[in-house]
Amino acid sequence: VQRTGELPHAKAAHFTCPHCAVDAQQNWEGAQIPPVGGANTHIDAAVLRSTCVLCEQRSYWIDGDMVWPEPKLGPPPSVDLAGEHHSLYEEARTVAPRSPRAAAALLRLLLEQLVFSLDTMEGTFNDKVDRLAHEGVITRRVVDALDAVRVGGRHAVHGGQIDPSGGDDAGVVLMLFTIVNTIIESAVTLPRETQSFLGSRVPSS
Ligand SMILES: [Zn+2]
């Protein structure tokens, strides 16, 4: 599955489908709307429908904006993102197109919760991040990335808080999604798959 394709825009030959999340070819059609009580068919050029050639599901557009399904920003969540973490991630994807600042607040909260669930020992958020990096659960590059988008570090914005400086734009939001997925990949997915791989190769004696 290709996750970082074209963002949907009206009349695009292909974009990342909101249904199947694949960057897939789209077929476009206009809407013929019969007037109430009249026989003639009015063609409303503002209303468009696109159909994904892969999953055959439709998206509806008015005046160049996708109105259904609800536009989202960010890649689909990892299968290893569960429960409350999954809910925060999906909520951030939903609000991100209209409010990157709200999405960033949700994602910083999610990252704080992830770090606290991965390291249950005493200490501050920064202590935990350092310990996880020291233990190799996350890499130093993840620590640098967390600092860059002000999750932890000296200029941290607290999770769940709107950053009053207004610096949280779509670029910050996409970076926060990348960090969540990188942490999950290295702390949960890889160990789980390694264990299952080794389990399947135990020699029978
Ligand atoms: Zn599709």
- Neighbour order of strands in the sheet with 65-68: 14-16, 23-33, 42-52, 58-62, 65-68
115/132 Cα distance (integer angstroms):
8
Q: What percentage of the chain has pLDDT greater than the value 70?
A: 95
Q: Is 105 exposed, middle or buried (0-12, 13-18, 19+ CB in 10 A)?
A: buried
DSSP 8-state code for residue 189? I
Contact 82, 136 (CB under 8 A): no
Q: Which residues pair with 47 in a beta bridge?
A: 62
Computed from CA positions of residues 183, 117, 97, 158, in that sequence, does the dihedral angle turn out positive or negative?
negative
CA of 123 to the centre of ligand 1 (A): 45
**Centre of ligand 1 from the C-alpha of residue 163, in Å:** 35
**Per-residue confidence at 177, pLDDT binned at 50, 70, 90?**
very high
In degrees rounded to 5, what are phi and psi of residue 184? -60, -45
Cα–Cα distance measured from residue 190 to residue 117, given in angstroms and rounded to the nearest whole number: 17
Task: Look at residue 2 in the predicted model and tell me its pLDDT.
Answer: 39
pTM over 0.85: no
The rounded Å distance from CA 59 to ligand 1 centre is: 9
- The Cβ-side half-sphere exposure at 105, using a 13 Å CA radius, reads 12
Which whole number is the average pLDDT over 55-82? 92
Q: How far is the CA of 192 from the centre of ligand 1 (A)?
A: 29
Number of residues that this document lists for the chain? 205
What DSSP letter does each residue of 165-188 carry, written as one string? T----HHHHHHHHHHHHHHHIIII
71-125: per-residue pLDDT in tens? Answer: 888 888 999 999 999 999 999 999 998 899 999 999 999 999 999 999 999 999 9
Which helix (H) or strand (E) element contains residue 108?
A: helix 100-118
118: three-class secondary structure by DSSP: helix
What pLDDT score does 1 carry?
37
Give the distance (Å) from ligand 1 centre to CA of residue 28: 13
